[in-house]
Structure 1
C-alpha cells in the first residue's frame, strides 16, 4: 500500500476548515430560525437588504444574484416568493423592456427597516462573547483566508 503524503500542518488546516464550516452552519441555521418568526428565510432577508441598498430604482436579478451571500441559482423564484408576500414588485425598464428590476414595496422597506434592531441584537447575542478586538482579528483572518 502506498504511503500517504501529508502537507505540513494538514491536520491543523483540516480542523480549522471544519471549525469554520461548522460555525457558518450553526450561524446560518440559527439565523434561519430567528427569521422564521418574520416569515423570511436568510436568503430572502439578504435580498431585501440588497434591494434597500439599491434605492428606489431597484435592482436587476443579475445584480441581486451577484450580491447574495448565499448563491441562489433561481433568483426569479426568490423574487416570486417576495412578490407573493407583497414585499417586492417588479417593473420593466422603459428604455429596454428586456430589463426587469425588483423594487421594495413600502411594506418590504418597512419590514427590512424594522428588522435592523432585532438583527443587530441577534448578532450581539451570538458574537458578544468575543471582545471587539477579537472580532476585528477574526474578521481580518477570515477575509485573508478568503483571498
Structure 2
C-alpha cells in the first residue's frame, strides 16, 4: 500500500458504503498480495499453494490420510482433490496406499522426496511470513490472528 487510505489507493471517488465493506475489500487485497508472494515461492519448487498445503498436512499428520481427510484440512477448498493428488503422485511427492483391512480405502502418504521438498521450503516460508508481517508488532500480530479467528468463526456460521 502507498500508506494512504484504501479509498485513495483504489482511486475510489465515493466513500465505502460501510466500514465493513472497506475492511473486507482491504482483507481481500492483502490476501491476494500475500497469496501471490507465496505462489511465487512455491513455483520455485514446482508446486502450487494447494500442493504445498497437501504436503504440509501429510507431514503434520505423521501418517497416511484418506483424501477426504486431507480435503477437510485444506486452507482453501480444492474441488478437484483427486487430480491434485494425481499430480503430486506423478512428481513422486506422495504415494497412494490401500488399507489392508478394507482394500477399497486408499490413503495418501508423503514420500521421502516430498519431505525433502518441504524441508527446503521450511525456512523460506517462515521468512516470508515474517517479512509480510514486518510492519506489525508482535502484539498486533497476535491481535490480528485473534480477530481473523473470530471472523472465521462467524463466516463459517453463515454457510
Matches of 2:82 and 2:53, distance apart in 1:
15
1:60 corresponds in structure 2 to: 66
In structure 1, stretches of 5+ residues that fail to align are: 1-8
1:113 corresponds in structure 2 to: 119
* 1:49 and 2:56 correspond: yes
Q: Where do 4+ consecutive residues of structure 1 move more than 2 Å?
A: none
Matches of 1:50 and 1:145, distance apart in 2:
23
Alignment map for 1:9-28 (pairs within 5 Å): 11-28=18-35
RMSD across aligned positions (CA): 1.3
Q: Deviations over 1:57-116 (max 9, x none)?
A: 311100010000010011111011101111001011010111101101111111112211
Choose the corresponding residue for 2:137, options 125, 131, 138: 131
Structure 1 residue 45 displacement after superposition:
0.4
* 1:70 and 2:76 correspond: yes
1:3 corresponds in structure 2 to: none
2:46 corresponds in structure 1 to: 39
* 1:30 and 2:30 correspond: no
1:144 corresponds in structure 2 to: 150
Q: TM-score, normalised by structure 2?
A: 0.83
Structure 1 residue 10 displacement after superposition:
5.3
Choose the corresponding residue for 1:88, options 94, 97, 103: 94
Structure 1 residue 53 displacement after superposition:
1.3
